Amino acid sequence: MAKLIYSGITSLDGYVADADGNFDWSAPDAEVHTFINDLERPIGTYLYGRRMYEVMAYWETAHLAADQPEVIRDFTGIWQAADKVVHSTTLEKASSARTRVERRFDPEAVRQLKATSGRDISVGGPHLAGQAITAGLVDELHLFVTPVVVGGGTPSLPDNVRFGLELLDEHRFGSGVVHLHYRITS
Ligand SMILES: NC(=O)c1ccc[n+]([C@@H]2O[C@H](COP(=O)([O-])OP(=O)(O)OC[C@H]3O[C@@H](n4cnc5c(N)ncnc54)[C@H](OP(=O)(O)O)[C@@H]3O)[C@@H](O)[C@H]2O)c1
């Protein structure tokens, strides 16, 4: 059974983007990026909301830029090798290979995918991930807590849902970012 994993880079007060939609404070440095690459390497399928997909689609052509550092080339290969499912009522066509567009989030289809996939599955951003969490489909969380308070914006976790967590691991980076790895217990 594949795991469904939600990963997000969040401010200390729990937002992935501030009230203006700005998230430049979340850009991972080389140390954090190297760690993220190793977490993402086993992922076979990314389930995306349209907003997160539009940001991540950058990686479809990232190899065309000259003189990319190794950590960026590594992530480019990881992302391009995985399948993607974009959820959107507005996106006409995906701009990347190995990508299909779904018009709705279907918990039963995700349940089936978990049962049949040989590799783990990732879900993001938080609007889509919140639906997967609320449906009881998410097994683990990876939160990268960035030392900044932004005062409002897009929350990293959904409202109106309550669940228990077991802390599986934590890691402190030189930048002050802290990685928290949780299993959802109930
Ligand atoms: N902190 C970071 O590291 C980081 C990284 C990248 C991006 N961000 C930012 O974080 C924010 C994430 O926002 P978000 O949580 O709204 O993003 P999201 O979950 O990726 O995307 C939301 C969009 O997904 C589609 N969607 C969601 N549920 C759906 C459903 N049940 N059926 C069909 N379509 C569905 C809708 O697209 P349609 O409107 O097309 O229907 C919806 O507007 C963005 O501002 C993004 O730029 C942060």
pLDDT tens by residue, the chain, 186 residues: 999 999 999 999 999 999 999 999 999 999 999 999 999 999 999 999 999 999 999 999 999 999 999 999 999 999 999 999 999 999 999 999 999 999 999 999 999 999 999 999 999 999 999 999 999 999 999 999 999 999 999 999 999 999 999 999 999 999 999 999 999 998
Q: Per this entry, what is the length of the chain?
A: 186
Query: 119 and 47 in contact (C-beta within 8 Å)?
Result: no
Closest approach atom of ligand 1 to CA 50 = 24
HSE, side-chain direction, 13 A CA sphere, residue 168: 10
HSE, side-chain direction, 13 A CA sphere, residue 123: 30
State the helix-helix crossing angle for 107-116 and 126-134, rounded to 10 degrees: 80
Closest approach atom of ligand 1 to CA 48 = 20
pLDDT at 160: 93
The Cα 182–Cα 44 span in angstroms is: 20
pLDDT at 139: 98
Phi/psi at 19 (5° precision):
-65, -20
Please give the distance, rounded to the nearest whole angstrom, from the Cα atom of residue 67 to the centre of ligand 1: 30
pLDDT at 175: 98
pLDDT at 186: 82
Global pTM reads 0.97
The Cα 142–Cα 40 span in angstroms is: 11
CB within 6 Å of ligand 1 — which residues?
9, 16-17, 21, 23, 26, 48-52, 55, 87-91, 103-105, 125-128, 131, 154
Indicate which residue's Cα is closest to atom 11 of ligand 1: 17
pLDDT at 29: 98
At position 3, the amino acid (one-letter code) is: K
Please give the distance, rounded to the nearest whole angstrom, from the Cα atom of residue 156 to the centre of ligand 1: 11
